[in-house]
Structures are given as structure tokens and as C-alpha cells.
Chains A and B, each alone.
Chain A
Amino acid sequence: MSKGVIGWAVALIAAAALPFVLTNNYYLHLMIMIAINSMLALGLNLILGFVGDKSLGHASFFGIGAYAGALIAFATNGNVVYTTIGAAVIAGVASIAIGYPVLKLRGPYFAIVTLGFCLIMQLVASNWVELTGGPMGLPGIPSAKLIAGGTTILEGVDEQDYWYITFAGAALLYLLSRSIERTSLGRILTALKENYNLSEAVGINPFHIKMAAFVIGAAFAGVAGSLYAHYTGFISPKVFDTLLNVNIVTMVIIGGEATSSGPVLGAMVVTLLPEALRFAEGFRLLIFGVILLAVIMFAPKGLLGLVTTLRSKIRKEAA
């Protein structure tokens, strides 16, 4: 317990001090993207990592969250409480609409339908011009503000502010994810992946549980999307990015499925590694791909699994 408190104190101090160490805005931008990607990976992990249902369309809910957050921001002058909660709810409702018909089926349907849903959402965003601005997107999204009694208390202006905002969001979702992981809910989610028939036999309604994991995961993505909209101030149909779908899956698998720290670790690697490989110029993505392949081959439980294995090996040798 006290060890955990110290860990959190260190993490909070490090997060608070980070903008003073990383004075370059570009680095700070990467840190913000890590926080946003962490929220996405933590959300996808609930359905992909714990339950084992392959969703290839998690970016749909990021995009829906971004548009919902932007539109609410225009209406409320950027009240961050309304935008994040509104985006989470709208992304969650969208996931019910897509999950309800598909999650009853077993097999590859879920992967195909979620991917298709993302492509459809991209088309909707491009063509519903009155609402989304079409391909031109929505410019001038108000910055995130904490408003109480009509006066703005805090406002997100520069990278430093947005680092604090996105870090707070990611930390809260991480804590929620960790609570899910260590209570009965985490065990129940894993049970479906481990043995579907026996899960039913012990009284678990698979459809309800899968639905819950999917909806909560979508709400996480909604929060990430709305904070992203505040941060960039401009969104376009490109938020429904097919590559982002793949990247979120990669974060979860590379970091370590069905854990809470794994997706965060994965978000760091998938965000930073391509940047660190910039020296390789044209070979950048090739090297990135080879590294990912190596991780999957040699650490099937992800980087977190690798760390755990190494740690127990060292402990055994020491004993």
C-alpha cells in the first residue's frame, strides 16, 4: 500500500515537472499524444485484451468523441466537463448501436463489422456537411475550459496546459481500468476468453458482459477524442483513420493484453518509436515493423509480460 502511494507520488511529481524539463513543444506534443493514445488503448483493451473479441474499429469511437466533443464545445464555449462527459456518452451509445446486433454472434463478424463501421463513420463525417463541415472539417474548436458559475477558472492554452489535462484524463481512466482489472469484473471479462461455455454455466450472461466491456471501452475513446478536438482546435473526417484502428490494436498487443499498465506501455512505444527512428529516413516504417514483429514473436504476452518474466527470473537467481 505505502509502496503504491509512493509510486503515485513520484508519477504525479514527474508529470507536473515534465513541461519544465521538456521545454521543446514538439516533445510535449508527443507526451500529449501518449496520454491520448493511452486512453484509446485502455478502452480497446477491455474488449480486445480481457474478453478477446477483436475490434478493428476502435477509432470510430475516437472520431465520434472528437466530433461530439467539438460540437458540444461550440455550444458551451469549451466547458471541458460537458465535452468529455457528452463525448463519452455519445460514443457509448454509438457502440451500443453497433454492438447490439453483432456481439451476440461468435466468430470473425465482430472484427469485420467494427472495421466497416469506422469506414461508414468516415463517410458520414465527409457528407453530413451541415453538422460536420464535410471534408473541410470543423475549425476553431474552443479550447478546454473549467467553468464554474459562468466564470472560467482554468483554460487550456498551450502544450503545457494540455499535457496536464490529457495526463489527468489518462490517469483517471487508468485508475478505473485498474479497478476493473483487480475486482470480479476483470475476472469475469477474462472468463469469457478462457472458456465461453463454462462462463455461461457459472451464471455469466456473455452478451451483457461483452456489451459492458465494449461500451465502457468506447466511452474511453470518446473522452480521448474530445480532448484531442480541444487540443488541436480542428478536426476533419481523418479522425476516423484506418491506420489508427491498427495502431490501437498494436498498442494493446505490444504492451500486454488484459492488464492496465500494458496498454499504457504500448501507447508509449507505438507513439515514440516511429519518432525515435526518424534517423533511418526511408527505412523508418520498415524498422518499426520489424521491431513490432520481434516483440510479438519473443514476447507473446507483450512488453509487460516480458518485464514480469525477467523480474521473476532475476528473483529466482538471487534466491
Chain B
Amino acid sequence: MALLKIEDVTVAFGGLLALEKININVNPGTITALIGPNGAGKTTLLNVITGSVRPRTGKILFEGKEITGIPAYTLVGMGLTRTFQLTNVFPNLTVLDNLMLGSYVFCRPWKELLNDIFARRDPALAAARASVDEVLEFTGLLPYRDLKARQLPYGQQRLLELGIALAAKPRLLLLDEPAAGMNEEETKALAGLLGRIRANKVTILLVEHNMRLITNICDDAYVLVHGRNITAGPPRQILQDPQVIEAYLGRRKHA
């Protein structure tokens, strides 16, 4: 059974059809890519999944349960987290505090407050800390633990963003252009990291433009053009598809 199932989703902004009858299956343990030219509706689709955009028709199923319209803050507790297209961290907080916020779902803030007042240890905090330590180790952010997020170089900030999403221990991770703005070396490191995330049984759905990254690590790819899903399949195969080439590069003029 698909971990995430998008069924017949149509989104309209006024008279504009942003997405038209989209059907996508994300199988557990895979990395699935969502590709397509700018304005194809990829981010809109992520926003539909995380509840900030309501579809006109269709529904979203996560682990067989319908989640259409459920807000992002509830989805985190159900095992689904996301990152954003532009770098999104808590700039004036330390890396550690950023990740602690990532593990928010494990915290019981009110109980923790009471425990603090009566000078008792808080068990939930220990669980959150353990998750954060794991992420620090896993992402290699440990040396930067006490730096403020805004003091990190760009690549590390993007890594932190990924770390924040991982700290909630999701089963499905939605990534919006994780390699955007990264140089080749950083992209390679990211590919390795995404592979290890998959190895840890976290399923990934990502929007990405970097074709090399996609062919290297993705199991499936869906191509969106003007809000329509024109083709789907293994990345190497669909990149040969004339329709896809046309969408990206335009039609060859015959003399």
C-alpha cells in the first residue's frame, strides 16, 4: 500500500487551474521526486498535502487515513513533516534550540514547566534531547551546536532545516528544493544524506530541479507541467521522454 496517496487533486485559484486531477502514489521506503518547470504547481501540491491550500476536488491519504485539510502542526504528530523552498530556520536561536523545536512533538511543555518549578527531571525532555542528539550526529551539525542559526554558512543552514524536520522522527518527509543554491560538493553530500535517511526507513517526497541529484537517488519521478501530471516512472526513463524534454527545453524547430 502507498504511504502517501494523492487522489484526483484539483486546485483552482479563481479561474486558474493550478493543479488538475493529480494522482500520485508514494511507496514506503522510496524517494519520489516531483519535477517540472517553474509554475507547474509543485509547491502548491506540497501545500495541499500539508493543509495550507484546500483542493477543490480530490483527497490526500497518509497511511490509509484521509488527511485533506489537516493543518501542518497536526500532521507532524502523525508522522509527516516538511521543509520549505527558501531557507527556513529560527535565525536567532542556536542550532541546538532549533533542533529542540524540531522535536517539539516529543515535548510536554506544560508538564515540563511544572517539573521545573518543583525542580524535578522531565522525562519527555529527555526523549526530545535523545532525538536531537541523534540528529546532530546524523547531519554532522554537532560542531555547530551552540552557534546561532544565522551564523552558519548557507549549506549548513539548509542542513539544519533538514535536521529540524528529522528531529520529529517522521515517517514521511516532504522536501521543497533541498539542493537549491547548493554547490556541487554540498549537493553530493546532500544526496548521501538523503540516501541514509531512506535507509532509516523514512520515505521522502521531494521537489527538485537538480536532475543529477534526481537520477542519482530517486526511485520514482512525477513530471508536472502547467498543473498536469504528464508522465511518471523511474527518473532515467522519463528524462528521455520527448514530452519532458519539450517542457523543459522547448520544441526543436524543423527547418
| A binding-site residues for B, Cβ under 8 Å | 175-176, 179-180, 182-185, 187-188, 190-191, 194-195, 197-206
Contacts and interface: CB of A to CB of B under 8 A. Distances in A.
A180 B113 contact: yes
B178 interface: no
A184 B100 contact: yes
A188 B165 CA distance: 16
Going nearest first, the 4 A-B pairs with the smallest beta carbon separation are A203-B76, A194-B90, A185-B109, A184-B107
Given A183-B113, A184-B112, A203 B105 contact: yes
B84 interface: yes
A188 B104 contact: yes
18 contacts: A176-B117, A184-B107, A184-B125, A184-B128, A185-B112, A187-B101, A188-B107, A190-B90, A191-B101, A194-B92, A194-B93, A198-B90, A201-B88, A202-B104, A203-B72, A203-B77, A203-B104, A204-B101
A274 to B, nearest CB: 33
A190 B113 contact: no
Nearest to A175: B117
Nearest to A198: B88
A202 B97 contact: no
Contacts of A182: 116
B76 A184 contact: no
Given A179-B117, A185-B112, A188-B109, A198 B104 contact: no
Given A191-B93, A198-B90, 15 more contacts: A179-B113, A183-B109, A185-B112, A185-B113, A187-B101, A190-B93, A194-B92, A195-B88, A200-B73, A201-B73, A201-B82, A202-B81, A203-B76, A203-B77, A205-B74
Contacts of A206: 73
B102 interface: yes
A100 to B, nearest CB: 18
Given A183-B116, A185-B113, A197-B84, A204 B91 contact: no
B89 A198 contact: yes
A175 B119 CA distance: 12
B71 interface: yes
A117 B131 CA distance: 44
Contacts, number: 91
Nearest to B51: A200
Nearest to B125: A184
From DSSP, what is the main secondary structure of chain A's interface residues? helix
Contacts of B109: 183-185, 188
Nearest to A195: B90
A190 B93 CA distance: 9
Contact of A200 (B72, B97, B100, B116): B72
A203 B92 contact: no
A182 B116 CA distance: 9
B84 A201 contact: yes
Interface residues of B, number: 37
B110 interface: yes
B224 interface: no
B168 interface: yes
B164 interface: yes
B88 A204 contact: no
Contacts of A203: 72-74, 76-77, 104-105, 168
A259 to B, nearest CB: 13
Interface string B64-79: 0000000111101100
User: Counting chain B CB atoms within 10 Å of each CB, which of A180, A194, A197, A203 scores highest?
Assistant: A203
A232 B151 CA distance: 51
B116 A179 contact: yes
A203 B75 CA distance: 7
A258 B252 CA distance: 60
B164 A202 contact: yes
A197 B92 CA distance: 15
A194 B113 CA distance: 22
User: Counting chain B CB atoms within 10 Å of each CB, which of A176, A183, A200, A202 scores highest?
Assistant: A202
User: Counting chain A CB atoms within 10 Å of each CB, which of B81, B89, B112, B116 scores highest?
Assistant: B116
Contact of A195 (B76, B83, B89, B97): B89
Contacts of A195: 88-91
A175 B116 CA distance: 10
A131 B218 CA distance: 71
Contacts of B100: 184, 187
A188 B107 CA distance: 10
Interface in B157-179: 164-165, 167-168
